[in-house]
Amino acid sequence: MFEGLTALPADPILGLSAAYQADTNPKKIDLGVGVYKDEQGNTPVLKAVKQAEVEYHNRETSKVYIGPPGSAAANELLQALIFGADHAAVSAGRVRTIQTPGGCGSLRNAAELIKKANPSATVWVSDPTWANHIPLLGNAGLAIKTYPYYDHATKRVNFSAMMDTLKDVTKGDLVLLHGCCHNPCGADLSQDQWQAIAELALQNGFTPFIDMAYQGFGEGLDQDAYGIRLLADTVPEMIVSSSCSKNFGLYRERAGALSIMYASSADADKGQSNLFSLVRGMYSMPPNHGSAIVETILGSPNLTATWHKELAEMRERIKSLRALLNQKLQEKGAEGDFSFIERQSGMFSFLGINKEQVHSLVHDYSIYLVDSSRINIAGISLANVDYLAESIVAVLKK
Ligand code: PLP
Ligand code: TYF
């Protein structure tokens, strides 16, 4: 039966890791897959996670099934992290959270629920957006359209073009927004822009759908949730897909959550029962370990303090690397203005070079990045930044 299948290309982002591993050039630099790295190029387990794992190991008495929504305590703690402690919608029982296999599992669950609630819904995604949004939402059968977002010329959000498209989006459709640290472009919405979107959503009736994969990597845990909390104060319904992969460094444990704010607690009860049914039809129940570690950290003031410190270190390292790359490019005489790298936030920015220049960086300089010229800032280090800047300056002349 399988002879009729045709071979498909691999994930272009994950594929870069294998090419990087196989490269024997001692100067090689990996700016591909978006995982945090320290100065040595490692992605260590956070201290808060290691300590929580010991505590959890000692406390765990059973491996019995966890159930479709996962841990109620973990879900409640994540609600507070995302919406803020004591948000009115949470207190009113209008926000319901389920534990999911990573942020990806959350996005896919959301897509399935949207499809069930409104089979003809269109999800509007930013141009550009994270490549995986297309299969995660589209494979559930949802129609996907794009709204203008990043202006490659100004290196900023083209907000007037964005709003000009979104003004025609109406009730029954959804607008997917990156909560912070836009992947791939690094250009985020200002507070005024969030306000304008919240007002438009309220006026037109479309449902905001927020992908929050980098809370704490931009300006801070609360600052990065500004848009979500403003929307939650303004609109009747919204969806939040969140991931613990980056901010807790739990990547392979697949810890994420789907939080839906419903118009009423009666709608919330119905929505939850549908989600449980969808989860049953896909994977029955989520993995436990990653979310149990998150629950252990967020449930302990000491571990939370350790985590906040480690998260701040990751955030500050990325910010300082942004400034450093801009400075080194200037010093080495790069043609053009790269100050946008310093201005943007989170793990990613586009270098803004063409595909041939990207290929030259990969093949001639062993600097690995995706074709779009997106770089993972965390892959830069004090040890490699000079070589990186010199190589970029060289390919800019091509
Ligand atoms: N959304 C965005 C924009 C991402 O960059 C990621 C990935 O890292 C995710 C969602 C989901 O990540 P995960 O499924 O690993 O939690
Ligand atoms: O964009 C990135 O690099 C991260 C990691 O299928 C990632 O979000 C990349 C590809 C993928 C899953 C995660």
C-beta of 78 in contact with ligand 2 (< 6 A)? no
For residue 119, is the peptide bond before it cis, meaning its omega torsion is within 30 degrees of 0?
A: no
Task: Please report the atom of ligand 1 found closest to the CA of residue 106.
Answer: 14
Task: Judge whether 370 and 361 are in contact, CB under 8 Å.
Answer: no
To test the pocket of ligand 2, the residue of 8, 14, 371, 374 to mutate (highest count of ligand atoms within 8 Å of its CB) is 14
Quick one: average pLDDT of 235-244?
98
Query: Distance between CA 57 and CA 12 in Å, rounded?
Result: 37
- pLDDT reported for residue 398: 83
pLDDT in tens, 121-176: 999 999 999 999 999 999 999 999 999 999 999 999 999 999 999 999 999 999 99
Nearest listed ligand to the Cα of residue 17:
2
Nearest listed ligand to the Cα of residue 210:
1
Quick one: average pLDDT of 254-263?
98
Q: What is the full DSSP assignment across 101-112?
A: EHHHHHHHHHHH
Q: Is the pLDDT of residue 369 over 90?
A: yes
Quick one: average pLDDT of 244-251?
98
pLDDT band at 198 (very low <50, low <70, confident <90, very high): very high
Query: Distance between CA 217 and CA 345 in Å, rounded?
Result: 8
Residue nearest atom 11 in ligand 1 by C-alpha distance = 103
SS (H, E, C) 138-183: HCCCCEEEEEECEECCCCEECHHHHHHHHCCCCCCCEEEEECCCCC
CA of residue 244 to ligand 2 center, whole Å: 13
Quick one: average pLDDT of 307-320?
98
pLDDT band at 370 (very low <50, low <70, confident <90, very high): very high
Quick one: average pLDDT of 52-81?
97
pLDDT in tens, 272-296: 999 999 999 999 999 999 999 999 9
Q: Is the pTM of this model over 0.95?
A: yes
- pLDDT reported for residue 91: 92
Task: Please report the atom of ligand 1 found closest to the CA of residue 183.
Answer: 3
Q: Is the pLDDT of residue 381 over 90?
A: yes
- pLDDT reported for residue 334: 95
C-beta of 13 in contact with ligand 2 (< 6 A)? yes
Kindly report the number of other CB atoms within 10 A of residue 7's CB atom: 5
Q: Could you give the residue ranges of the DSSP H alpha helices within the chain?
A: 12-22, 47-59, 72-83, 88-91, 102-117, 133-138, 159-166, 191-204, 221-224, 226-234, 265-282, 289-298, 301-331, 339-343, 355-365, 385-396
* Domains of the chain from N-terminus onward: 10-45+308-396 (3.90.1150.10), 65-299 (3.40.640.10)
Does the ipTM surpass 0.95? Answer: yes
Quick one: average pLDDT of 15-37?
95
Quick one: average pLDDT of 248-270?
97
Q: Is the pLDDT of residue 15 over 90?
A: no
Tokens of 142: 């949802």
To test the pocket of ligand 2, the residue of 37, 132, 350 to mutate (highest count of ligand atoms within 8 Å of its CB) is 132
C-beta of 33 in contact with ligand 2 (< 6 A)? yes
- pLDDT reported for residue 53: 98
- Give the residue from 105, 114, 131, 348 showing the smallest Cα distance to 218: 348
Kindly report the number of other CB atoms within 10 A of residue 20's CB atom: 20
Task: Judge whether 361 and 367 are in contact, CB under 8 Å.
Answer: yes
Q: Is the pLDDT of residue 9 over 90?
A: no
Query: Distance between CA 228 and CA 234 in Å, rounded?
Result: 10
Quick one: average pLDDT of 192-205?
98
Q: Is the pLDDT of residue 14 over 90?
A: no
Mean pLDDT of the chain: 97
List residues near ligand 1 (CB under 6 A).
34, 102-104, 130, 183, 211, 213, 243, 245, 251, 256
Task: Judge whether 20 and 368 are in contact, CB under 8 Å.
Answer: yes
Task: Please report the atom of ligand 2 found closest to the CA of residue 32.
Answer: 3
Nearest listed ligand to the Cα of residue 252:
1
Task: Judge whether 238 and 207 are in contact, CB under 8 Å.
Answer: yes
